[in-house]
Amino acid sequence: MSDFFEYPDAAAPDGSVHGPSEVGLRDARLAGWYREDSGELFRGMPIGADDVVVDVGCGVGFNSAFCARHGATVHAVDNNPQMLREARAQLCLERATAYHTLLSDASPLPLEDGMATRVICTEVLQHVEDPQRMLAELVRIGAPGALYLLSVPGALQERLQETVLPPAWRDQPGAALRIIEREAFARWVADAGLVVQEHTRSGFFWSLWWALFYGCEVALHDPAHPVLDHWTAAWSALLETQKGQQLKQQMDAFMPVSEIIVARKP
């Protein structure tokens, strides 16, 4: 999820922001993400001052920053030095004092057994050679009773992206190695020894946004294009309608950008 909220948003004449980051963040919150009032990174995943959080594949640090903001000790882990620099900058902006950034491919994780009360691994398992081995590492570092927030890309939208992906994007570093089906994801988590507490889906907005993005031929750091602007505005308007949130839930279930599991270590 972290990468979804880093795009520059355009300002309307009245000063409001209506770009993909703003609309996508609102959409995510409606799905259960980033509950500042309750301190839940995702519903069922509360973060507090007594927590030790390990965020594996932290990216630019959006999730890590949320956890630091709610008082947790954070270990942000990524195999990309630039991502870690950006995550560190996010944590500094939060004035976090109890955090560590670790450059690692998580095979294995340079952390002690049972040291974490919260483990985050979002949109990572599709990139690694051995997802089950990584899950075993995540379970190893969790304390008894630790909560896990795990996600992988939705399989249907991944097939959509494969259909429209331009050749220049196919050989980009960090490309996904596999499509993970919903049932396989749940089975891997259970086989790793975790108890699944919720398995849900979210992010139809991003599933379509990415498919349109590839056709618009704009830069990722500045994805300004009328097609993307119209889709973003349409989704924002939909959420304001009487049945908009119900329709969002139905579309999220049909073609989510992410399969999300909240699990617990016994």
Domain ranges for the chain, please list them. Answer: 2-264
**pLDDT (tens digit, 9 = 90+) per residue, 78-135?**
999 999 999 999 999 988 889 999 999 998 999 999 999 999 999 999 999 999 999 9
Judged against a pLDDT cut of 50, whether residue 20 lies above it is answered with yes
- 193: which residues sit within 8 A by CB, 6+ positions away? 139, 265, 266
Long-range contacts of 215-223 (CB under 8 A, 24+ apart): 215/164, 217/166, 220/7, 221/7, 221/8, 222/7, 222/8, 223/7, 223/20
pLDDT at 227: 97
Q: Which residue has the higher pLDDT, 13 or 111?
A: 111
pLDDT of 160 higher than 50? yes
pTM confidence score? 0.92
Q: Which CATH number fits domain 2-264: 3.30.590.10, 3.30.1490.20, 3.40.50.150, 3.40.50.620?
A: 3.40.50.150
- Other beta carbons less than 10 A from residue 188's beta carbon: 19
Beta bridge partners of 219: 222
Q: What is the pLDDT of residue 191?
A: 98
